[in-house]
Structure 1
Amino acid sequence: MIIDHLDEPLPGSSLRPTPPGVAYTDPEIFTQEQAEIFEKQWNCVLRADSLPQAGTWKTVTVGREEIIVVRTRKAGIAAYYNVCRHRGMRICTTGEGRSKTLKCGYHAWTYALEGELVAAPNLTSMPDVDQEAYGLRPVHVREWLGYVWVCLAEEPPNFDEAVLGEVRTSFGEVESIDNYGIENLACGETKTYDVQANWKLIIENFMECYHCATIHPELTEVIPEFADGLASQRKDGVVHGASFGDEITGFTVDGSSGVAEIPAIAPDQERKYYAITVRPQVFINTVPDHVIIHRMFPVSESRTIVVCDWLFLPEVVEKINAGTLDVSKSVELFHRVNEQDFEACEYTQPSMSSSAYTSGGALVPSEHHISEFHDWWYAALGWRAPEQVRDEQTTAAQA
C-alpha cells in the first residue's frame, strides 16, 4: 500500500541503503523504540464511541505501559496508567468494563473516574494523605477523527505539528480531510491482524507501491496507476490522489459500485484514493464512500498487532447491522491488500537476521522517500544515519 512520497527521487545513486538487518531483530533496539518513539509520540488507541457511557473503560498497551482509557462524568475521556498508587497492582485486570469508580482489588484503594483517590481502608485516619496527589497518574489525551489519541510523555509533542502536520503533507490542508467527516462516521467492520513482522517493515511496505503490480492484482485493477510502481500521492508537486480506472465504479474488490458517497467530499476527491501515514502507528485511507484506518501496536521486535477499521456513513452502518446492506465487497478489497502486504512482511522478517542482510538492503528510486522515514527513525533514537556519517567524513576529508 502507499502513503506518501517525494515529488522526485532523491539525487545521487539509484539505490539507497536501508537500516541494517539488526534494526528489525534486536530486542534492545525494540526496547529503545518503545521508550523513545511509542512512549513519547501521540498514539491512536481506540474509537471514542467504544466508550459510550460514563464509567465505560478499556485498557490499551502503549509502548511498555498499560493504560486505562475511561469516559468520565465530568471531563470527557481521560487516560491513566493502570497502576495503583499504593502498591502498584493493576487496577483494571480485564480488557474492558464499566464501573462507577476504579478500584484496586488488592487493598481496595478506590479512585474517581476523574482520577483522584476517593476511598481506602482507614483513609480517614490518615488526614495528611493528599488525595489528589495520590490519584491515578494521568496520560495526555486528545480526540481527533472520532478516535482517542494518547501520549505518555511529560511534555507531549505539539499535536498540530506532530499529527495534523502529516495530514498537510498528504492532503495539502487539514480542511481536505475534514470533508470526509471521519469523526461522524460509524464503524461497519473491524479486523485484527497478528503480523509476525517488525513494525518498521509494515510502515515501509505501506509507503511504497513498487510491489503493487506483483502482489496486489485486485488493487491495481481498481487503481491502474499503482501498477506503475509509484506512490502517486502527488503529481507535479500538487496533491492529487490516485484515480480509479475508467471502468471502475467503486472501491470494491471487483470494481463494482460501493455504498452511499460521503456528501461533503470535494470534486477532486471523487473517484480518488488518498492515504496518509501518521507516524509512528496510524494509516488513514480515504475513498469517496468510506474511510479505512489502521492502528499498529508493536508487541516485540518481530510481532505487530494491526487493527483495521472500515468506516461508513451512520445510515449505511445501520443497514449493515440490520442485515439489509452488504458491504463485503468494499471490505474485501482492503482486507486482501492487508493480507497480501502482511504476508510479504512475514516472509521478509526472517531474512532480517540473515548474514546476507547484515548491512541492510536497497531502495530503488520509487522508494527513495522511505529514506525520510529512516531518517526520522534514526533521529528519534538519537542516532545519526549512516549516510549522514559518510557525508561528514567526506566533508572532513576534503577540508
Structure 2
Amino acid sequence: MTLRAVNDVGSAADPGANMGLPGWLYHDPEVYALEQERIFRRSWQLVCHLSDIPKAGDWQSLAIGNESIIVVRGEDGGVRALSNVCRHRAARLVDGEQGCAKKLICPYHAWTYELDGALSGVPGKRDYPAFDMKDYGLHRFATEVWRGFIFVRIEGDGPSVAEMMAPYEEDVAPYRFEDMRALGRVVMRPRTVNWKNIADNYSDGLHIPVAHPGLKRLFGPGYGIEATEWVDKMYGPLLDGVPGSSSEALYRKYLPRVDHLPADRQRLWIYFKLWPNTAFDIYPDQIDFMQFIPVSPTETIIREIAYVLPDDRREMRAARYLNWRINRLVNAEDTTLVARVQDGMASDSYTQGPLGNSEVCLKSFARKFRVLIPEARQPKRPPMGWSAQSVAGRIS
C-alpha cells in the first residue's frame, strides 16, 4: 500500500524539518505547563453543536487545563462562552457536561448570574463597600460558530476556525454540518499517553497498511494524506468486492446512497485534524468528532461524539452500526500502538527519529510546535528549570 497523494502547503524554513519531535517532550512536566499556556489557552476548542443547546438556558461544558467553560444559549437566542467560576469565591457554578438553567446560581453563597453572565443577585449586598455589580459578571471567552459547531478560545488571537478550514470548505460543504444532530452523548476515554502521541498517530499515514488490516482492505492503495498550514487531511475511497470481515462486507453492502452528496463522496472516508487537537472523521453516514485533551504529561482524555443527519432508513441505521464496529477495532489497534510508542518515548536511549518525505502531517505538527516551544529543537531534555528561562526570554 502506498500513499496515493502527498502534499504539504505553507511550509516555513525549519532547521529540524526532517526530524520528529524528541522523546522527552512526551513526558516532561515543564513541557506540559508550557503547552497549556502557549497552545491550549490560545487555540480553538470544540464544545458542542448549536442543536445541542436549542433552548434558552441550555448549556454544555468543557474543561481545558485549569479552565472550566460553559457554553449557554441566552434569552436572546445568542450563544456565549462563560467561565464556570463564581466571581465571589471562585466556586464552580454548575456540575456535569450539560444542563438547563433559568439563571446560574452559585451553590456556595447564592450569587446569581443571568444567562448572558451579568451578575444580578448578591445576598447581603449592602455588606460590600463600593461594590458595583456591573464589574463582577462572569468572564467571557471568545466564541465562533463554524458550520453549526461552537468553538471557544480562552485567550489570544490568530486565525478563525473558518480561516483555518478555508482550504477545505468545498470538501466539507456538501455534508450539511449545520443540520446535524448528536448521535448519543459525549464519551470520555482516558488514555495513559501524552496527547501529542495520539495527535501524531491520527495523522500518520504510514502505519495504516501495517497496523490496520481492516482499513487496508477498505481502502487498498488509495489512502491519501496532505497538510495545509492549520489542517491535516487524510482520505480513502472504499473498495468494492474486496474480501474482509463481516462488518466491512456488510457496511459496503448496506451503506445507502446519500442524495445530497456528490458521486465521488458516496464511498469516501475523510479525516481532518484541526490544530492542535481536534479531529473529525467524515463518512457518508455520519461525522465523528474527537478532541485529545491533556490532563497531565502522560495522561489524555479523548472526548468524542458522533453527529448525523436525520435518516430513518434501515440501511442507514445498519451502516452506522457497522461503521461503529469497524472503528471500534481500529481504535483498539491504535490504543495498543500509541501505548507502545509512549513507553518507548521514556527511554533515555531514544532521542528523535527522521521523518520521510511522505510524512507531511507529522512535519507540519512538529514545525508549529517548535515555533511555540523552541526548546523542542533540543534532542535531550535541558536541565530542570529550563522553562522558567524560556518564559523570561519571551518576556524580555
Q: TM-score by structure 1 length?
A: 0.80
Give the 3-state SS of the residue equivalent to 1:372 in structure 2.
helix
What is aligned with 1:211?
207
Query: Is 1:300 the counterpart of 2:296 in the alignment?
Result: yes
Query: Is 1:80 the counterpart of 2:82 in the alignment?
Result: yes
Whole-Å Cα distance in 1 between the matches of residues 278 and 373 of structure 2?
Answer: 19
Query: Is 1:339 the counterpart of 2:341 in the alignment?
Result: no
Closer, same or farther: CA 251–180 of 1 in aligned 2, 3 Å: farther
What is aligned with 2:264?
268
The aligned amino acid for 1:362 is P
Percent identity over the alignment is 25
Uncovered stretches (5+) of structure 2, i.e. residues with no partner: 380-396
What is aligned with 2:352?
360
What is aligned with 2:159?
158
What is aligned with 1:195?
191
Whole-Å Cα distance in 2 between the matches of residues 87 and 293 of structure 1?
Answer: 35
Q: How does 1:383-394 map to 2 (within 5 A)?
A: 383=375, 385=377
What is aligned with 2:387?
none
What is aligned with 1:396?
none
RMSD of aligned alpha carbons? 3.6
What is aligned with 2:140?
138
- Of 137-146 and 33-42, more deviation after overlay is shown by 137-146
What is aligned with 2:221?
225
What is aligned with 1:62?
64
Whole-Å Cα distance in 2 between the matches of residues 89 and 339 of structure 1?
Answer: 38
What is aligned with 2:28?
26
Q: How does 1:173-192 map to 2 (within 5 A)?
A: 173-189=168-184, 191-192=187-188
For the 8 Å contact 2:34–2:373, the answer to whether it is kept is yes
The aligned amino acid for 2:359 is E
What is aligned with 2:119?
117
Give the 3-state SS of the residue equivalent to 2:133 in structure 1.
coil
What is aligned with 2:384?
none
Whole-Å Cα distance in 1 between the matches of residues 30 and 338 of structure 2?
Answer: 21
Whole-Å Cα distance in 2 between the matches of residues 340 and 137 of structure 1?
Answer: 42
Closer, same or farther: CA 225–134 of 1 in aligned 2, 3 Å: same
Whole-Å Cα distance in 2 between the matches of residues 144 and 158 of structure 1?
Answer: 13
Partner residue of 1:106 out of 103, 108, 115 = 108
Closer, same or farther: CA 288–318 of 1 in aligned 2, 3 Å: closer
Whole-Å Cα distance in 2 between the matches of residues 2 and 195 of structure 1?
Answer: 31
What is aligned with 1:167?
165
For the 8 Å contact 2:74–2:116, the answer to whether it is kept is yes
For the 8 Å contact 2:370–2:377, the answer to whether it is kept is yes
For the 8 Å contact 1:251–1:287, the answer to whether it is kept is no
The alpha carbon displacement at 1:2 in A equals 12
The alpha carbon displacement at 1:201 in A equals 0.8
For the 8 Å contact 2:214–2:245, the answer to whether it is kept is no
Whole-Å Cα distance in 2 between the matches of residues 24 and 384 of structure 1?
Answer: 11
- Of 106-115 and 257-266, more deviation after overlay is shown by 257-266
Uncovered stretches (5+) of structure 1, i.e. residues with no partner: 388-399
The alpha carbon displacement at 1:198 in A equals 0.9
Whole-Å Cα distance in 2 between the matches of residues 168 and 251 of structure 1?
Answer: 37
Whole-Å Cα distance in 1 between the matches of residues 332 and 319 of structure 2?
Answer: 21
The alpha carbon displacement at 1:251 in A equals 12
Whole-Å Cα distance in 2 between the matches of residues 273 and 231 of structure 1?
Answer: 12
What is aligned with 1:46?
48
Whole-Å Cα distance in 1 between the matches of residues 5 and 141 of structure 2?
Answer: 29
The alpha carbon displacement at 1:16 in A equals 3.3
The alpha carbon displacement at 1:226 in A equals 5.5
Q: How does 1:242-253 map to 2 (within 5 A)?
A: 242-247=236-241, 253=247
The alpha carbon displacement at 1:53 in A equals 2.3
